[in-house]
Amino acid sequence: MSPVASLPPPPPLRASGHCLLLDFDGTLVDLVDRPDAIVVDTGLIDLLHQLAGTFAGRFALVSGRSVAQIEGFLGDAAAEIAVVGSHGAELRLGGRNIAPDRPPALVEAERAFSAAFAGEEGVVVEVKSLGVAVHYRMAPEHGVAARRLAEQYADRDGLVLQTGKMMVELRVGGHDKGTGIDALLRHEPFAGHMPVFAGDDVTDESGLALVAERGGVGVLVGAPRETAAQFRLDDVAAVRAWLEKAA
Ligand SMILES: O=P(O)(O)OC[C@H]1O[C@H](O[C@H]2O[C@H](CO)[C@@H](O)[C@H](O)[C@H]2O)[C@H](O)[C@@H](O)[C@@H]1O
């Protein structure tokens, strides 16, 4: 881990010998109040198409969202891109999906979250294929209660508690973005290529650490913090400007 210090911006992206892996929320799209309210503009869709071509298919999104959610946001563009979803638990590559079963305890947690926060304005319960999250960006005063409730369900059926930006989540354990990227790099066309990964959240740190271990390029997006990344960009706009130069 690098101490909190100023990291330089990343070098220009090179497709030759590299593969490109990008976090989604906070890296490619700006964070907004509600998980379903992100804006995927046509400029982003065009950029993703171009990057898939430039990297000859060695291009993946690595997200805490499920593969199905990413596909829903990207539409046809998703077909050309590999997706590591659900914090590393799911992999969709070449039209094939690899994912564990949904544990029954997630259904119970989903019911408990929905009951606890029903009618609480500003709290959003997000149901995912391998996780359930409580978002309190619009009502931060509910953060402590959300975490306490999540703690009650953590460890049931192997669920783990995952914190994120203004949210707490219960998700299938045994995976993280590092293990997800590791799995991806074992498959063609990614195998044998140096990974470049950019992400903003603490959940991206396992991915940044894995990439650093492999001698790849890790880019922290956002304010300086302790990180395994070697480079930093300020925000989504800076990430997109960096990607556009390569596309
Ligand atoms: O790994 P990521 O692709 O960065 O996904 C992480 C989480 O992103 C989403 O939540 C975050 O973005 C929301 C929309 O901007 C925002 O309202 C929320 O506060 C953020 O935490 C998504 O909803 C989660 O499922 C992902 O795990």
Instruction: Give the pLDDT confidence of 33-64 residue by residue, as tens digits.
Output: 999 999 999 999 999 999 999 999 999 999 99
The answer to whether residue 4 is domain-embedded is no
The answer to whether position 6 is within a domain reads no
Residues 80 and 110 in one domain: no
**Is 90 found in the same domain as 179?**
yes
Range of the domain at 196: 18-99+175-246
Question: Alpha carbon 131 to chain centroid distance?
Answer: 13
Q: State whether 120 and 151 are in the same domain.
A: yes
Model confidence at 5, pLDDT cuts 50, 70, 90, reads low
For residue 150, pLDDT beyond 90: yes
Please name the residue whose Cα sits nearest to atom 19 of ligand 1.
166
What's 100's DSSP letter? Answer: P
| 195 and 218 belong to one structural domain | yes
Show which of 124, 141, 172 is a domain's final residue: 172
The edge-to-edge listing of strands for the beta sheet with 217-221 is 96-98, 90-93, 82-85, 59-62, 18-22, 194-199, 217-221, 231-233
Question: Are 140 and 165 in a shared domain?
Answer: yes
- What atom in ligand 1 is closest to the CA of residue 162? 27
Calculate how far, in angstroms, residue 145's C-alpha sits from the geometric centre of ligand 1.
19
Is 155 a domain residue?
A: yes
- Residue 23 is a catalytic residue: yes
Residue 3, pLDDT > 60, answer no
| Region 137-154 average pLDDT | 96
ipTM reported for the complex, 2 dp: 0.99
Q: Do 110 and 164 fall into the same domain?
A: yes
CATH code of the domain in which 109 resides: 3.30.70.1020
Contact at 8 Å (CB) between 177 and 65? no
- The pLDDT of residue 4 is 60
% of the chain with per-residue pLDDT over 70: 98
Q: What is the pLDDT of residues 161-211, one digit of tens each?
A: 999 999 999 999 999 999 999 999 999 999 999 999 999 999 999 999 999
> Of 150, 172, 194, which marks where a domain is finished?
172
pLDDT-derived band at 17 (thresholds 50, 70, 90) equals very high
92 pLDDT tier (thresholds 50, 70, 90): very high
Q: Cα(89)–Cα(102) distance, rounded to whole angstroms?
A: 11
Q: Which atom of ligand 1 is nearest to the CA of 25?
A: 4
For residue 127 the two structure tokens come to: 């149901």
Question: Whole-prediction pTM value?
Answer: 0.96
Rounded distance from Cα 25 to ligand 1 centre (Å): 5
Residues with CB under 6 A from ligand 1: 23-26, 31-35, 38, 63-65, 126, 128, 133, 135, 137, 164-167, 201, 203
Residues 59 and 26 in one domain: yes
User: How many domains does one find in the chain?
Assistant: 2
Whether residue 75 has pLDDT greater than 80: yes
| Range 209-223 average pLDDT | 98
Is residue 1 scored above 90 in pLDDT?
Answer: no
pLDDT reading at 30 higher than 70: yes
